[in-house]
Amino acid sequence: MAAALGTSPTIVEYFEGEDFYRCGYCKNETGSRSNGMWAHSMTVQDYQALIDRGWRRSGKYVYKPVMNQTCCPQYTIRCRPLHFQPSKSHKKVLKKMFKFLSKGEFSRGNNEEEPMDSQMDDAAVDDFVLKSKLDIQSDHRPLSEDYNEVVESEVKEKEENLETKETKELNQSHAKREKLGSGEPSRSVKVVPSAPKPGKGADLSKPPCRKAKDIRKERKRQKLILKSQTDKLEGSQIQHEPQSLPSEKPKLNQPKSVEDFIFDTLPEDAAHQLEFTRFLCSSPLEMRKLRLRVKRLVCLDEIWLQAENPPEGPDCGYGSFHQQYWLDGKIIAVGVIDVLPYCVSSVYLYYDPDYSFLSLGVYSALREIAFTRQLHEKTFQLSYYYMGFYIHSCPKMRYKGQYRPSDLLCPETYVWVPIEQCLSALESSKYCRFNQDTKAVDEERIKELDQLRVLYKRTVMPYNIYKKRQKGPSDEAIVQQYADLVGQTCSERMLLFRS
């Protein structure tokens, strides 16, 4: 067979749409349905093409939900790391990690459980737990610098406390005067203002105090005026500078990038040290070492994606990688990623539940986003971070949509649409076609089966030859379904195993 195959192509064994089975998200006993295939081998180019058509892998099994039939439609989601800025909740996780490493401080309370993308046997979850890549972190607030928010909140609190105290004292003074004026309606009492005793009442000789809201508005107005004057002054200075000496205007109040947080320098006397290692899943020695260290770590990825290291590719090459997180010499988490021609695809993360207070799911996702940006510097086309499936019908699975900007894959035309344009439609219907062009079709739809490649009796042949040699009932309907799901390009490049 090796001679017939030459190079190592993708070889898959397709299983037509299974019967309905129990949904791991809404727990419907007969609500979920998907198509699948077992990948005996897979190239990075073919897997990239498959995930861009809604496929997803679990180990060597590659599956695609039947979107218009399953109870919880699963839409492929990707983040655009080149424009990513950590949200307030992301910064909170990064700061928590830095505080723990530098000072050893942490809080185990109120740590929200991370959702699971796939189900596992309870017996297998003893020392380590298989969790999804990301935490549930809902944050709809606009991005801003934490420092400014803290300072403004402290000023606001002091202003409100001061105004509350002054208003209370003024109200007490008014109440006293009203009490003096109460009684029989025929009698009148003349209230003569007198100087208040020290520390008591309001000084009537001074203007009445203003509301805290008005004071804040005035201060904001003054800041805007000052900023406008400063900008004008800087603009006039820039105009008079020689063209050969461009001004270096300091970037004040610029939001910190995810790298600024992750790679912040720890103090020399840091309480803990976090080390990070990465190696190909196809390294037998490293796999054996890891299995010995993590005895109950289930289903570590076997050799699946064919490792490639072309000159124009990233320094680490393409393939499946294990990323290890070591805390003071102890392994606390292992993440699995696929480095593909156009993206880093997050598969899953194992972590020690004793360290769940560090929100390792969120932390690892942010590190992987930073890693994608790093790879992009060498390999320009590698510029996306795939996060698996987004499930809007399951509220606990909407967390991936908070890593923005991000896109969802249209399940009918396989084009990417910004998630903001999809949410209103998903609120109305579980299953949606995101492409608003009603005339648009799947550009990779199968045009003919004749050139589909088949592996039959250890020989590679086009489908039209296979049909002539096939014995027994025709399997054309199943082959047609497979071709429609993988698309024209993959059907002519991958080998469909037939027995």
Domain residue limits, the chain = 2-71+444-498, 82-139+257-394
Q: Is the pLDDT higher at 136 or at 42?
A: 42
pLDDT band at 354 (very low <50, low <70, confident <90, very high): very high
Q: Is the pLDDT higher at 134 or at 277?
A: 277
pLDDT band at 279 (very low <50, low <70, confident <90, very high): confident
The fraction of the chain above a pLDDT of 90, given in percent, is 58
The full DSSP string for 289-352 is: HHHHHSTT------S-BPPB--TTS-TT-BEEEEEEEEETTEEEEEEEEEE-SSEEEEEEEEE-
Residue 497: both structure tokens together: 């195993």
- pLDDT of 485 > 60? The answer is yes
pLDDT band at 123 (very low <50, low <70, confident <90, very high): very low
Q: Given the structure tokens 């909740």, which residue do they identify?
A: 89
How many Å from the N-terminal Cα to the C-terminal Cα in the chain? Answer: 14
Region of residue 391 (left: phi > 0; alpha: psi -120 to 50; beta: else)? beta
What is the gyration radius of the CA atoms in the chain, in angstroms?
Answer: 31
pLDDT at 187: 39
For the chain, give the mean pLDDT. Answer: 78
- Mean pLDDT within 422-445: 97
Could you report the per-residue pLDDT of 214-272, keeping only the tens digit for each?
A: 777 777 777 777 666 656 554 444 333 333 334 444 455 678 999 999 999 999 999 99
Could you report the per-residue pLDDT of 359-413, keeping only the tens digit for each?
A: 999 999 999 999 999 999 999 999 999 999 999 999 989 999 999 999 999 999 9
Could you report the per-residue pLDDT of 289-348, keeping only the tens digit for each?
A: 666 666 544 445 555 788 899 999 999 999 999 999 999 999 999 999 999 999 999 998
Residue 238: both structure tokens together: 């820039």
Q: Which residues contact 308 (CB under 8 A, 6 or more apart)?
A: 43, 44, 317, 318, 319
Asked if 216 and 225 touch (Cβ cutoff 8 Å), the reply is: no
Alpha helices (H) in 447-494, listed in sequence order: 463-469, 476-493
Taking the complete model, does pTM exceed 0.75, yes or no?
no
pLDDT at 442: 97
Rounded distance between C-alpha atoms, residue 372 and residue 405, angstroms: 14
pLDDT at 321: 93
Residue 418: both structure tokens together: 């910004």
pLDDT at 343: 98
Q: Which residues contact 178 (CB under 8 A, 6 or more apart)?
A: none
Rounded distance between C-alpha atoms, residue 154 and residue 9, angstroms: 62
pLDDT band at 115 (very low <50, low <70, confident <90, very high): very low
DSSP H or E segment with residue 130: strand 129-131
Q: Is the pLDDT higher at 421 or at 115?
A: 421
Rounded distance between C-alpha atoms, residue 389 and residue 77, angstroms: 6
Asked if 170 and 209 touch (Cβ cutoff 8 Å), the reply is: yes
pLDDT band at 201 (very low <50, low <70, confident <90, very high): low
- Mean pLDDT within 201-212: 59
- pLDDT of 113 > 50? The answer is no
- pLDDT of 53 > 60? The answer is yes
Residue 425: both structure tokens together: 């439609």
Rounded distance between C-alpha atoms, residue 432 and residue 461, angstroms: 38
